[in-house]
Each structure stands twice: as C-alpha cells, then as structure tokens.
Amino acid sequence: MRARVGWGLLAALVLPVAASAAEVTTVRTQSFPRPPYSGATYYIYERAGQTICTKLSVCNKFEQCETSYVPGAFRAAEDTTGEPYGVTPAVPIAPASLAKHVCLTRFGLVQR
C-alpha cells in the first residue's frame, strides 16, 4: 500500500513537469553567407520538437538588415544548397519573454 502511494505521489510530481516541458518554446540560429559581403541568419522557433516560426534576417556589409517572418519551417532558395557556417543550440525562451518575439506574436503563437 505504501509503495502504491509513493508511486502515485511520484507520478503527480513528474507529470506536470513532463507536460510543461512539451510547452517550452526554444530558439536556435543558423547563419549562411550571401555574396557579395552579406549574410542570412535564421532564427528558428520550436515547440515540442516542431518548428513553429522562422525569422530571416539578411544583412549587408554595412549592417543594414531586412527581416521577414514565416510561419513554420522556411529556408530561402539561396541557402538550400550549403550547410550553415554558424549554428547555435536551441535555448529556452522564458515564458515572460515570449511576447517580445515578433515571430511568435505575428502568427498568434503567443498572446501579448
């Protein structure tokens, strides 16, 4: 009887953590060179292992950038032939900071 109560208590503690882990939103980056003297950086937002939004920032050598947002996974035709030269691992976004990310708010993936 005591063992069953122990397992029930353990399950009650672990299940909310497992459920909330699936709701964690992360962001990672990939960078690609673009001739002449420019580069493209993709900010890839993911939740539960699925890409939910992609931000593309293309900057020239003068650090003038154009930004676009696409729901789901996206990679421009110029960047599909090679491997990225810069990659960062996925980093969790704090729940309080989610509304600061335009990619997430633009497509209704978080509430402001």
Q: Is residue 89 part of a domain?
A: yes
Average pLDDT taken over every residue of the chain: 84
Number of domains making up the chain: 1
Span 7-17, pLDDT tens digits: 343 333 333 44
Q: Is residue 15 part of a domain?
A: no
**Could you please report the per-residue DSSP string of 47-107?**
ETTEEEEEEEEEE-TT--EEEEEEES----GGGSSS--SEE---EEPPGGGGGG-HHHHHT
Span 12-34, pLDDT tens digits: 333 344 445 558 999 999 999 99
pLDDT at 22: 59
Q: Is residue 95 part of a domain?
A: yes
Range of the structural domain that residue 37 is part of: 24-106
pTM (global) more than 0.85? no
Q: Is residue 9 part of a domain?
A: no
Q: Is residue 71 part of a domain?
A: yes
Q: Is residue 77 part of a domain?
A: yes
Q: Is residue 43 part of a domain?
A: yes
Q: Is residue 111 part of a domain?
A: no
Amino acid at the residue 67: T
